[in-house]
Amino acid sequence: MPPGESKRNVIYNCERHGNATGIGLAEFTTDRLVAKIDLHATYINVITGQHISAAAIPMHYPTDKQVLGIALESLGLIEPEDARVCWIKNTLELGEVEVSTAYADQVKGRKDLEVLTSARSMAVGGDGNLPTFDAFGNEGRLGSVAAK
């Protein structure tokens, strides 16, 4: 897979006052995010930006665990433990990301990246949802990587 391309995009939550512009770029999301969408704000943004499909609502499931499980299953012959997963806080803050161990060799070869943590488990809570990005970064199989 060429750099910068992804097979599946999952959006877990919306923090921008219900504006879900870009949700249509994902294949999967959560019921939690869908419930937060301000359709009026989202529609105005995608019409103004002339990218109507960016407001399309993808398949959605009740919990992060279900969404991640379905997304990983949909990859076909790639085993979940071999999947290249990248978790970002949001599209405005890309200086630090969480990546799966499948990215280890790529990250080691980059002089512009710094590994901040060793690999650790990505566990969901009793409600089936992931912790917030910041909470995971503080508690934390993903390792934190930052741009230098």
Question: How confident is the model over 5-45, as pLDDT tens digits?
Answer: 668 888 878 776 789 999 999 999 999 999 999 999 999 99
Q: What is the pLDDT of residue 143?
A: 55
Euclidean distance between CA atoms 90 and 14, whole angstroms: 9
Q: What is the pLDDT of residue 58?
A: 96
Q: What is the DSSP letter of 63?
A: S
Whether 1 maps to a domain, the answer reads: no
Count the domains in the chain.
2
Planar angle of CA 9, 125, 15, nearest 5 degrees: 50
User: 């803050």: which residue's tokens?
Assistant: 93
Confidence of residue 141 (pLDDT cuts 50, 70, 90): very low
Q: What is the pLDDT of residue 139?
A: 56
Answer with the residue of higher pLDDT: 57 or 147.
57
Q: What is the pLDDT of residue 16?
A: 64
Domain boundary among 26, 52, 77: 77
pLDDT in tens, 74-114: 998 888 888 888 888 887 888 888 888 888 888 888 888 88
Question: What type of residue is 57?
Answer: I
For residues 101 and 62, membership in a common domain is answered with no
Q: What is the pLDDT of residue 34?
A: 95
Instruction: Please tell me the chain's helix, strand, coil percentages from 3-state DSSP, rounded to the nearest 5.
Output: 35, 20, 45
Whether 30 maps to a domain, the answer reads: yes
For residues 123 and 63, membership in a common domain is answered with no
| Domain limits for position 101 | 84-148
Question: What type of residue is 44?
Answer: I
